[in-house]
Amino acid sequence: MKNIFIAGHNGMVGSAIARQLNNVKIITRSHNELDLTDQQQVRNFFESNKIDQVYLAAAKVGGIYANNTFPADFIYQNLMIEANVIRSAFENNVKKILFLGSSCIYPREAKQPMDESSLLTGSLEPTNEPYAIAKIAGIKLCESFNRQFGESHGIDYRSVMPTNLFGIGDNYDEKNSHVVPALIRRFHQSKFLNKPEVEIWGSGKPKREFLYVDDMARACIHVMHLPKEVYAKITDEMCSHINVGSGVEMSIEDLAKSIARVVGYKGKLIFDHSMPDGAPRKLINCQRLFSTGWRPEVNFENGLKLSYIDYLQNNP
């Protein structure tokens, strides 16, 4: 039985991966037990535990407010986490790693849908540039270890870049949450307080892509288990990451209406056109992954219903 270390098992994606894995021994450590930014602690952990594979889902994450307020924390902590884990895993003979990044690695003006090959072809979105640079470094760490040690040490380190995720275990914090959990919280509170209308930033016209987190977890396991020759066929030595998304986009207005319907909020939606819209589209090209036979399984509205149940259970 393989020993699988899930770094970030308490997070939304890490916990979903743990739910989906079968017939393996899952090894986890809380932040209090293991600080992944501490090189010596990480070294000691890998030396003391026989690890066969790593799912590297641990990261410091947050919305625009958090990224703008704490840019040094975002770049430093994420760089340290991935550098410590990948290096210590290599030093202790771990053959397979799956590194989880983010679609924010792509240039702000990247051609839509964003293909893996658009990485490093333009300037990043300024509001999350430090976080994006750290995630790009994680991809390049995996690539570089493969290039230098792939043949001599038999390692196979891979990377996946998810689109906007939502689902069980999401962050509903008022300042740091992303758009789906933020709107779930806002509509629920407005329903409870009988508010006649809810204000939403922007015009509602920008389009975004969303994926339910359990589908992301299934994609991670699918990519980890792809035969090496299949992975090599759909990637490049210097462009080795794979996009993970639904391939479907919707406007923020349609998103808001869907969430209001699931929550049961029947008031009016007001779009504040004086507030920024952000990029008009953020869709990733998932044809490389789709070519291997993977497809999302959870319908978007069903995913919203599961998310709202999770919100009610954990935010009474």
Catalytically active residues, by annotation: 131
CB 7 within 8 A of CB 83: no
| One-letter-per-residue 3-state SS of the chain | CCEEEEECCCCHHHHHHHHHCCCCEEECCCCCCCCCCCHHHHHHHHHHCCCCEEEECCCCCCCHHHHHHCHHHHHHHHHHHHHHHHHHHHHCCCCEEEEECCHHHCCCCCCCCECHHHCCCCCCCHHHHHHHHHHHHHHHHHHHHHHHHHHHHCCEEEEEEECEEECCCCCCCCCCCCHHHHHHHHHHHHHHCCCCEEEEECCCCCEEEEEEHHHHHHHHHHHHHCCHHHHHHHCECCECEEEECCCCEEEHHHHHHHHHHHHCCCCEEEEECCCCCCCCEECECCHHHHCCCCCCCCCHHHHHHHHHHHHHHHCC
* DSSP-based three-state secondary structure for 144: helix
Helix %, strand %, coil % of the chain (to 5) = 45, 20, 35
CA distances from residue 23 to 2, 56, 222 in whole angstroms, order as listed: 8, 19, 15
Which residues on adjacent β-strands are paired with residue 241?
159
